[in-house]
């Protein structure tokens, strides 16, 4: 918060308050929609259909899937940036005719590690994946 105020000035505090008010109002509208017909509304798509009709249901589904896709892409890019800073000067690797080096190589490696976890049928298995990653981080911190 102090860094945001230092960069944006005192006006940034007003913008934080405005964003908070908009989020509160949005939550209130979602609550009203869900209370109107609790049995029929189980997702954001259902809220869109209830509020604006079936065409909006498809639009909300589209934007939600695009948002999930972009979050996954930003995670991979962020992971690639961080690993490139941890291991500078990474060697070049040829993969299916493409030359990968630095950030591109780490993005491909992060994808190869994370992608199989999305195929799990039992999400309870993710706790074992998390346990393994926590132990690797603990060992890395000791080194």
pLDDT in tens, 88-132: 877 676 767 777 777 778 788 888 877 777 777 776 766 666 665
3-class DSSP state of 131: helix
Interval 68-79 mean pLDDT: 86
- Residue 14 included in any domain: no
- Residue 17 included in any domain: no
Question: Residue 53: its pLDDT value, please?
Answer: 81
- Residue 117 included in any domain: yes
For residues 112 and 109, give the distance between their C-alpha atoms in angstroms, rounded to a whole number: 5
Q: At what angle do helices 44-52 and 54-86 cross, to 10 degrees?
A: 140
- Residue 136 included in any domain: yes
What number of other Cβ atoms are within 10 A of residue 78's Cβ? 12
Q: Tens of pLDDT along 22-52?
A: 999 989 988 888 888 878 888 888 888 888 8
- Residue 24 included in any domain: no
68: containing domain: 37-142
Is 21's pLDDT higher than 90?
A: yes
Number of structural domains (the chain) is 1
Q: Could you tell me the pLDDT band of residue 134, with boundaries at 50, 70 and 90? A: low
SS (H, E, C) 8-60: HCCHHHHHHHHHHHHHHHHHHHHHHHHHHCCCCCCCHHHHHHHHHCHHHHHHH
List, in order, residues 6 or more apart from 77 with CB less than 8 Å away.
103, 107
pTM here is 0.57
- Residue 23 included in any domain: no
- Residue 16 included in any domain: no
- Residue 111 included in any domain: yes
Is 138's pLDDT higher than 60?
A: no
3-class DSSP state of 99: strand
């Amino acid at each position: 918060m102090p860094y945001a105020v230092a960069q944006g000035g005192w006006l940034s505090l007003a913008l934080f308050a405005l964003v908070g008010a908009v989020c509160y109002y949005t939550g209130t509208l979602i609550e009203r929609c869900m209370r109107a017909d609790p049995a029929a509304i189980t997702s954001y798509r259902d809220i869109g259909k209830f509020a604006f009709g079936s065409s909006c249901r498809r639009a909300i589904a589209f934007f939600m899937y695009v948002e999930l896709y972009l979050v996954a892409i930003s995670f991979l890019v962020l992971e690639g940036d961080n690993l490139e800073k941890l291991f500078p000067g990474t060697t070049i690797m040829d993969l299916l005719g493409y030359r990968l080096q630095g950030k591109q190589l780490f993005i491909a490696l992060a994808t190869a590690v994370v992608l199989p976890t999305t195929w799990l049928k039992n999400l309870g298995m993710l706790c074992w994946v998390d346990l393994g990653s926590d132990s690797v981080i603990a060992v890395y911190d000791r080194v």
